[in-house]
Chains A and B, each alone.
Chain A
Amino acid sequence: MRIVVLMKPVPDPGEERLGADGRLDRAVSAVINGNDEYVLEAALQLVEANGGEVTLLTMAPAGITDPIRKALAMGATRAVLVSDPALGGACAWSTAQVLAAALRTLEYDLVLAGADTSDGGGGVVGAAIATLLHHPYLSRARKIEPIEGGVRVERISAAGHDVLEAELPAVVAGTQLLGEPRYPSLRGIMGARSKEIAIRTLAEIGLADRPVGGAHATTTLVDARPPASRGSTRVVRGLEPVAAAAAIVDFLVERRAL
């Protein structure tokens, strides 16, 4: 199976901040988006069981290599990084177009994406990419299995889960239920150094004159401010359980919650 895993480097949750230009500062200690690690793990397990390779596909500023190296250390074979100064500040729609264009230059059976991103993403890019490439889209996957000529996915539904099948190539978005990602072994870390990170510009994926990137962002930040303070925390300690329970009830009454 030739699997492409879409990977987004995001600021380490807790470390995010806006840069002076009002955009998310992507240089702040970048890590692999949490949800992408689950689909990467699922991809690695699929190729370990069925043969094949995992390619990472990322759109990011050129200097951000640590998350890519970690993903390579986990076992991906190679990485393709689409990087172009024009892409700074790109919106989700641009991202979808860029990744779809990059995918058109690759050979694959399955594209895996994480459910959404910790830096404010809405979990929409996978669906947009699948639509652009006219591939079946199966989201909320908790289990992924290859079948003859296709893929079978257990998709979380409101009532439980549905079992779906689609032909390849397909785009699947996964959840944490796919399983805990492995720690990169030390051997993997040392081997990652010799793995290929191919860098592609917009021109190299056929988007040279297309309206993508920060200058064509469909959304824009209008304001950023600290949140209104919740007020101070009332702390209660040293009370017996009955008194503590009474304090909670009184507080809820005070806040008109009861």
Chain B
Amino acid sequence: MTAAPALGRLTDDQRAIRDAVRTLARDRVAPRAAEIDRSAAFPEDLRLLLAEQGILGLPFPERFGGLGADLLTVCLAIEALSAACATTGLILAVQELGALPLLLAGTEEQLGRFVPGLAAGRDLIAFALTEADAGSDAAAVRSRAVRDGETYVISGTKRFISHGSIASLVTVFAVTDPEADRRRRLSAFVVETASPGFSVSRLEHKMGIRGSPTAELAFDGVSVPVANRIGAEGDGFGLAMRTLDRSRPGIAAQAVGIAQGALDAAVAYAGQRRQFGRAIGEFQLVQGLLADMDARTEAARQLLYTACEEIERGGIDAGRWSALCKLVAGDAAMAVTTDAVQVFGGYGYLDDFPVERMMRDAKITQLYEGTQQIQRLVIARALLGRDA
């Protein structure tokens, strides 16, 4: 890698884990990246690799077979993977996202039931909040969970659910009390996708992260035991927001990784491509582009690492840090990948080179887990007071 983050702030373990994931990404993930994008096929082989290496176990408590890693360590792994392939980085990011409600509010019994399989990477878990009419306006969720004795019956449709078609578990947010205040209507449930009534009704064809299946999930009277409800009735919305506060750094990490991958590719190209008798890296206009790309990537990275530490410390402004790092990183990824294509010139537009894929991959980081506009609202609310 051309750039290395300041070493002083990482512990030996964090450095060792980052380096190990980087090696794996370079040796085993990078060679697959173009083909994953071209075929839009989920890389099951890489998922197995991540499971075997313990990478999917990073976010989970050790007592259930995980590695008990902190948020920064998980983000280091996502970043390293995403530099090689954004789809592969997302495997870890989504696993963490889907499991966070359980990790934040699940009972020991629930953790014992679900986490071992997740930590081993045997089971994948998805996060199902978004609906066709409930994107940025998450509280407008309409899926219903109706209590019936010792079960809930869930009906509705979820849209844009990453890994929805390959996960064995889905964390679903549904309305348990339609009469309640907007933010007390929802509850969260762990649904096993093998349950009758669950189906994948659609798979999206996307601009980028094409190897990551994005699904529309249909819940047609799916029975879920009460024991699968996470937290109390009505806790769902708050739990979703707390989840996103902790998971947004994962997307920021993906964005920083994509940016770094694009920067590395552009630097290598600038050193080799010759025009007017010289390597194009000798021309100031190209140097200017590369320098700005590096500055933006490094700034996003340092903000991400700081955000991880702040969120891990459990301060009340976790939301602000989470939104800041995702906002800055997402915009950086888009800018850096666009400039990377520019450095490659016409060749950057061809799929012979990785940068056009990286640019297409980068866009999603400005859209999911809260659009950049939502991030700004979150930050402004933190600055001005919650109800502003």
Contact = CB atoms under 8 A, between A and B. Distances in A.
B54 interface: yes
A73 B24 contact: no
Nearest to B53: A185
Interface of B: 12-13, 16-17, 20-21, 23-24, 52-55, 57-58, 67, 69
A69 B19 CA distance: 12
21 contacts: A69-B16, A73-B16, A73-B20, A183-B20, A183-B23, A184-B20, A185-B52, A185-B53, A186-B55, A186-B57, A186-B67, A187-B54, A187-B67, A189-B13, A189-B16, A189-B17, A189-B20, A190-B13, A190-B17, A190-B67, A192-B16
Contacts of B67: 186-187, 190
A185 B54 CA distance: 6
B72 to A, nearest CB: 14
Q: How many A residues touch the partner, as a band?
A: 10 to 19
A186 B53 CA distance: 6
Between B21, B23, B24, B54, the greatest number of chain A beta carbons within 10 A of the residue's beta carbon is seen for: B54
Contact of B13 (A183, A184, A185, A193): A193
Interface in A189-226: 189-190, 192-193
B24 A193 contact: no
Given A186-B57, A192-B16, 18 more contacts: A69-B16, A73-B20, A183-B23, A184-B20, A185-B52, A185-B53, A186-B17, A186-B20, A186-B55, A186-B58, A187-B54, A187-B57, A187-B67, A189-B17, A189-B20, A190-B13, A190-B17, A193-B13
Interface in A137-188: 183-187
Between B20, B57, B58, B67, the greatest number of chain A beta carbons within 10 A of the residue's beta carbon is seen for: B20
Question: Closest 4 A-B residue pairs measured CB to CB?
Answer: A186-B54, A185-B54, A187-B54, A189-B16
Interface of A: 69, 73, 183-187, 189-190, 192-193
A186 B54 CA distance: 6
Contacts of B55: 186
A185 B51 CA distance: 10
B24 A183 contact: yes
Nearest to A69: B16
A69 B20 CA distance: 12
Contacts of B23: 183
Contacts of B13: 189-190, 193
Contacts of A189: 13, 16-17, 20
A64 B285 CA distance: 42
Contacts of A192: 16
B47 to A, nearest CB: 15
Between A73, A186, A189, A193, the greatest number of chain B beta carbons within 10 A of the residue's beta carbon is seen for: A186
Nearest to A185: B54
A80 B69 CA distance: 29
A244 B186 CA distance: 69
A193 B12 contact: yes
A187 B54 CA distance: 6
Between B12, B21, B52, the greatest number of chain A beta carbons within 10 A of the residue's beta carbon is seen for: B12
Contacts of A73: 16, 20
A192 B12 CA distance: 11
B69 to A, nearest CB: 8
A190 B17 CA distance: 8
Contacts of A193: 12-13
A185 B49 CA distance: 10
A189 B57 CA distance: 13
Contacts of A187: 54, 57, 67
Nearest to B77: A186
A187 B57 CA distance: 9
A189 B19 CA distance: 10
Contacts of B17: 186, 189-190
Nearest to B58: A186
Contacts of A184: 20
Nearest to B50: A186
Nearest to A186: B54
A242 B201 CA distance: 54
A187 B53 CA distance: 8
Contacts of B12: 193
Nearest to A65: B12
Nearest to B11: A193
A186 B69 CA distance: 10
Between A73, A187, A192, the greatest number of chain B beta carbons within 10 A of the residue's beta carbon is seen for: A187
Between A69, A190, A192, A193, the greatest number of chain B beta carbons within 10 A of the residue's beta carbon is seen for: A190
A193 B21 CA distance: 18
A82 B157 CA distance: 65
A65 to B, nearest CB: 10
A39 to B, nearest CB: 20
A13 to B, nearest CB: 14
Contacts of A183: 20, 23-24, 53
Contacts of B21: 186
Contacts of B52: 185
Nearest to B13: A190
Contacts of B16: 69, 73, 189-190, 192
A184 B58 CA distance: 14
A32 to B, nearest CB: 12
A185 B17 CA distance: 9
Contacts of B20: 73, 183-184, 186, 189
